Structure 1
Amino acid sequence: MDVLQVFQKIKELPVIPKLMHELMDSFNDENSDIGKIAEKIAMDQVISAKVLRMANSAAYRRGKEVASVEQAVIRIGFARLRSLVVAASLSGGFKISSDFNIQKFWTDTFQVATIARTLAAQSSAVQIEPETAFTCALLHDIGELLIQSALPEEAGLISISMEQGASRVEAQRELLGFDYSQVGAELARQWSLSQTFIDAIAKQLNPLQHEEVSSEAVLIRLSVFVSFAWDAGVPAELIVKRFPKPLAEHLGVDPETLAPQLEELHQQGNALAEMLTS
């Protein structure tokens, strides 16, 4: 089975709201009408409620609680609000088995995203807009969501293989013939997302081995490394020492500057995930 056969088996792809499409397109449009987009967000009660919860989370809380999307734009800025809307849209688009720990999925995803945004802001060798980096990282594991929702039996077998010592990528490639990054990239194509997001998802596992390097994919790979090591209990000083040098050099980031921020970044990710899934 190849990755396209998976999509042929799926009777109904997860649908993302038209609002999310407009927001994804706005990444490349400097003339986007922020006011009109904020009005559209406010009209979607489910998404606006999730966005307001996240805007009032510990990650962004400053002063009084925000009570409207317009106030959220003022509080955290349109670029950041846009990223939260993307997350809110994704969270409701997949029908996931109760066996899958969706809380952990979003916690891990937001932790990676907060690290990616910080690294993008610190990058001196390439220029990446921090909120674009954040959104790429939010999308990096959407292939896993599709595997869990569309192939639950295979997902269960993959889980068993991982319990026996295989990595997630090894188990998926052995059982399916492909992995979550390929599924995610194809889903992004079918959703008509821009090439920036498709490349970031598709190239994340070995970002420097492609002829055309996606700096966003490099950010994802480095952020996943940092987040995984932190969650495994590796001290910040040791994480810095083990930083994959080729990835850091491509971005032009100094690992030493990241170490003091790791605990706060993970707390922000935890807070956003909790608000999204509550």
Structure 2
Amino acid sequence: MTTFCLDTVLQAEILPSLPAVAVKVLALDPDLAAAELARVIAQDAPLSARILKAANSPLYAPASPVGNIKRAIILLGNRQVRTLSLAFSLVPLQNARLDFTRFWQHSLATAVGTRRLLKLMSPRQVEEGFTAGLLADIGAILLAGAQAERYAEVLTRREAAASLDEAEHAVFGFDHTALGLAAARRWRFPEGLLAVIEHHRDPRGFNGSGDLSLLVGAVHLAGLAAEFLHGDHPEHGKGGFERAAGDVPALKEIAFDSFVQEVDEEAREISTWMGIHQPPERSIAELLEEANKKLVAISSEYEEVIEWIYRTQVDLIRRPEK
């Protein structure tokens, strides 16, 4: 079933907004010479412009302005350009039934957060971290784009308290992680991105190398920060981030409040050249206050449950046997 759906998603008829040039780029050898990759990308003026904007952005901080695609590819690397080409081509994707804006807001915040965390956790993976965070949940946009009517049912089920994965399994028999991983393998994405797509939601089951574990962990943490900024339950993002970050030695001194503020500001700046609409600015202080109140309430409920269990156990111990 997964293979069938993947084939459906990748049909040009299903995703008419995915330019032919992006499809060509994905079909190329990841180790193709920069000149040949540049020749293909140059056939799409909007894509070329976005690649150049990325190369000249503070993300990559070139020593001098990058004026052509070939130099941009040399600066960013073939594999980075291939994955960015896919992201840039998917961002404009629209559907009458679904609004993908929030998905990209969350993904961009995850990308920015991943990059910032890797500066502390694994500096040599910083650049790879941005695209890994951006495309970690690519399966969701592919599945929603190909099966909009059925995916609307997924979202309805999720509103009824089912998790996203459970809702997708109920409707399709598989989830967006499986689809994203299958697509990434077909497009010959690098090992790090494959690991991120498969394990970033729950990195505890990942047993890869040290570098890959750090990359997957960084995307997981950044996703929690993005949940705080753009999700329905900011308290889950804040609480989850602080618990998980506390187990990472390199992040012992990180302050969640200032971290999410910096992520939000940088994501808003990057969104202008990525074409991602951002919601009206909301005070991070207000979000933090809302999350903290809910976390206190959750903690109080937990303590009440623990107290009830304790009283029940005491009563059982004291109750005389008949």
Q: Which TM bucket (shorter chain)?
A: 0.7 to 0.9
Is residue 2:205 matched to residue 1:209? yes
**2:162 is matched with which residue?**
166
Among candidates 261, 269, 272, match of residue 271 of structure 1: 269
Q: Quote how far apart the aligned CAs of 1:240 are.
A: 7.6
Cα distance change, pair 70–61 in 1 and its aligned pair in 2 (3 A): same
Q: Quote how far apart the aligned CAs of 1:212 are.
A: 3.1
SS at match of 1:270: helix
Cα distance change, pair 221–78 in 1 and its aligned pair in 2 (3 A): same
When structure 1 is superposed on structure 2, of 140-149 and 226-235 the one drifting more is 226-235
Output the amino acid matched with 1:99. R
**1:86 is matched with which residue?**
83
* 1:89-136 per-position Cα deviation (integer Å, ceiling 9, x unaligned): 33325854133223322221111001001111110xx56510111111
Mapped partners of 1:259, 1:265: distance in 2: 10
Output the amino acid matched with 2:11. E
Output the amino acid matched with 1:243. E
Mapped partners of 1:71, 1:150: distance in 2: 33
Output the amino acid matched with 1:194. P
Q: TM-score, normalised by structure 1?
A: 0.74
Q: Give the superposed CA RMSD.
A: 4.0
Mapped partners of 2:39, 2:246: distance in 1: 40
Mapped partners of 1:274, 1:100: distance in 2: 22
Q: Quote how far apart the aligned CAs of 1:45 are.
A: 1.3
**1:25 is matched with which residue?**
30
Q: How many residues align?
A: 262
Alpha-carbon contact 2:79-2:189 (below 8 Å) kept = no
Q: Quote how far apart the aligned CAs of 1:177 are.
A: 2.3
Among candidates 248, 252, 255, match of residue 254 of structure 1: 252
1:51-70 to structure 2, matched below 5 A, reads: 51-53=51-53, 68-69=67-68
Alpha-carbon contact 1:143-1:183 (below 8 Å) kept = yes
* 1:208-263 per-position Cα deviation (integer Å, ceiling 9, x unaligned): 2133364222222111111112345959xx93895233x66357333525642422
Return 5+ residue gaps in structure 2 as ranges: 277-322
Cα distance change, pair 11–138 in 1 and its aligned pair in 2 (3 A): closer
**1:219 is matched with which residue?**
218
Alpha-carbon contact 1:230-1:239 (below 8 Å) kept = no
Output the amino acid matched with 1:176. F
Mapped partners of 1:196, 1:50: distance in 2: 24
Mapped partners of 1:268, 1:138: distance in 2: 14
Q: Quote how far apart the aligned CAs of 1:167 are.
A: 2.5
**1:183 is matched with which residue?**
179
Output the amino acid matched with 1:45. A
Mapped partners of 1:71, 1:261: distance in 2: 35
Q: TM-score, normalised by structure 2?
A: 0.65
Identity %: 17
Output the amino acid matched with 1:12. Q
Alpha-carbon contact 2:137-2:177 (below 8 Å) kept = yes
**1:239 is matched with which residue?**
238
Mapped partners of 1:186, 1:210: distance in 2: 18
**1:29 is matched with which residue?**
none
Mapped partners of 1:134, 1:42: distance in 2: 23
Mapped partners of 1:128, 1:112: distance in 2: 18
Is residue 2:102 matched to residue 1:114? no
Cα distance change, pair 61–6 in 1 and its aligned pair in 2 (3 A): closer
Output the amino acid matched with 1:159. L
**1:45 is matched with which residue?**
45
Cα distance change, pair 100–80 in 1 and its aligned pair in 2 (3 A): farther
